[in-house]
Structure 1
Amino acid sequence: MSVVALRLAGPLQSWGAGSRFVRRATEREPTKSGVIGLVAAAYGLRRTDPLEDLLGLRLGVRADQPGQLMRDFQTAQRAKRERDGSLTWHSLPLSHRYYLTDAAFLAVLEGDRSLVESIDQAIRAPQFPLYLGRRSCPPAGPIALGVTDDDLHTALATWSWQAGSAVQRQHRERVVRLAIMRDAAPGEPGTESMRDAPVSFDPNRREYAWRPVTRGSVEIANPHGVVDPSTEHNPMSALGGPSCS
């Protein structure tokens, strides 16, 4: 197996897995349906096209820069033509839409080498515009990071930190701990279920399946770090007191 790595970063992201009616929520990390949708757009697939080649991919996500949750209120009006030919405007219900601001994620897709290489090529020259969950959320900078012959967990644990340089400089530690979420292996303990595995994007019969996921964390080197937590001098340690740092 091989993996293709993607950097998902932008001013706004929104990864809905359970949005209903006027409340459009976002998960705190990219969903599988959202990432597969991005790949499908890069290939130039229509919403009614089959997804069989992409359904077997395994996904892993690392929160390199978690960002902040933002709520937005949106209003809209609908025009209705009356019998006399005139137009009247009717207000639609106020909607609540949630976004992640200033976030950056490492998303890794695991599959056959030929498939992940074709995904990498498609992301670099997409047929349709790419966006981070919603059309109002364009990415900031290149998405494709390349292909390696690693498994999912190894890629999440070894790929360089993808946070912005300003965020990296805010952390003095040489090593940072980052949260990860990935598709669980069959029978793997400590899993939870998410209904965000796409089966069909057809507007007339959208279908999503449950997938088992597992959460954890990895330690990644900080290129701007200056402090080694394991050797940092703590003058209060001999007295049993708290650190002054």
Structure 2
Amino acid sequence: MSTLLLRLAAPLQAWGTDSKFEVRRTNREPSKSGVIGLLAAALGLRRDADLSELSALRFGVRVDRNGEVIKDFHMAKAEKTSYLTYRYYLSDAIFLVGLESEDRSFLEKIESALRNPCFPLFLGRRSCPPTLPLVLGIREDVLEIALREEENQNKDSKSIQQSHRYIRLDCGVAEQEGAVVQDLPISFNPMKREFGYRRAKEIWLRDDVNTEESAEEHDAMAEL
């Protein structure tokens, strides 16, 4: 197995999976459908293209900096009326995304496309271009090990202590744990968007803080 690792970071990101019309929400970490959309744009696929090969990639994300959810609103005007739309974003978040496949050559094709994209790339919405580096390379490990062993992409010591790091990844074929989410892209055709279901599990990581120092700092009886 090989795993392609991506670093998703930007001033703003938006990863909605279940919102439409006036209120556009965001998840707290990248969605598989959003990342597959990013790959499709890099490869130059049209919206009615077959996504089965991309959707078959095993997907996982590690949260290195949680970011903050913020709300913006837009005034939309038609000929005779106007209305407000509310849009939520993740501000200042950093994620490590992994895409696992038995076909290394396919991952190499995706990696090359991400370095030289056909269409502009964005993190969930067009107003959210990614910062560099985006591509970290291919690792000769299964998805979970690659996500566990890659160095923390958050380099700020203060926010490292404040971040709650965890991994969310697709369950294996035989695994029955995890939650079922409607986040498997089948078609991005604007006339008939279609999303299937996938099962994903969550793995919490230990804090990058010295536990002995942390215990001493928060010892309520230290002054007695």
Instruction: Normalising by structure 1, report the TM-score.
Output: 0.83
Q: C-alpha displacement at 1:193, in angstroms?
A: 0.9
Match of residue 196, structure 1, among 183, 195, 199 = 183
Q: 1:121 aligns with which of 102, 112, 116?
A: 112
Q: How far apart, in 2, do the equivalents of 1:215 and 1:236 lie?
A: 28
Q: 2:211 aligns with which of 223, 229, 239?
A: 229
Residues matched between the structures, number: 222
CA contact (8 A) 2:65 2:159 kept: no
Structure 1 CA distance, aligned partners of 2:32 and 2:113? 18
Q: What is the percentage of aligned positions where both structures have the same residue?
A: 42
In the alignment, the residues of structure 2 paired with residue 74 and residue 45 of structure 1 have an alpha-carbon distance, to the nearest angstrom, of 30
The answer on whether the counterparts of 2:65 and 2:160 sit within 8 Å (CA) in structure 1 is no
* Cα deviation digits, residues 205-237 of structure 1 (max 9, x gap): 1110010000112348x6xxxx63247784997
| Structural RMSD (CA) | 2.4
| Aligned partner letter, 2:118 | Q
Partner of 2:24 in structure 1?
Answer: 24
- Give the letter for the 1:51 counterpart: L
Letter in structure 2 aligned against 1:214: K
1:97 aligns with 2:79: no
Aligned to 1:137: 128
* Letter of the 1:229 counterpart: T
Please, which runs of 5 or more residues in structure 1 have no aligned partner?
79-88
Is the contact made by 1:75 and 1:91 (CA closer than 8 Å) also made in structure 2?
A: no
What is the correspondence of 1:33-48 to structure 2 with a 5 Å cutoff? 33-48=33-48
1:107 aligns with 2:90: no
1:97 deviates by: 0.6
Query: For residues 19 and 218 of structure 1, what CA distance do their matches in structure 2 show?
Result: 29
CA distance in 2, matches of 1:27, 1:46: 25
Aligned to 1:210: 197
Distance in 1, matches of 2:165 and 2:20, equals: 30
Question: Larger radius of gyration, structure 1 or 2?
Answer: 1
SS at match of 2:19: coil
Q: Distance in 2 between matches of 1:198 and 1:171?
A: 32
Match of 1:11 in 2: 11
Question: What are the superposed Cα offsets for residues 88-118 of structure 1, whole Å, 9 maximum, x if unpaired?
Answer: x333321111100011100100012111111
Residue-by-residue CA offset, 1:124-155 (whole Å, 9 max, x unaligned): 11111000001111111221000011111101
Q: Is the 8 A contact 2:10 2:92 kept in 1?
A: yes
Query: Which aligned runs of 4 or more in structure 1 are off by greater than 4 angstroms?
Result: 169-173, 230-233, 241-244
TM-score, structure 2 as length reference: 0.90
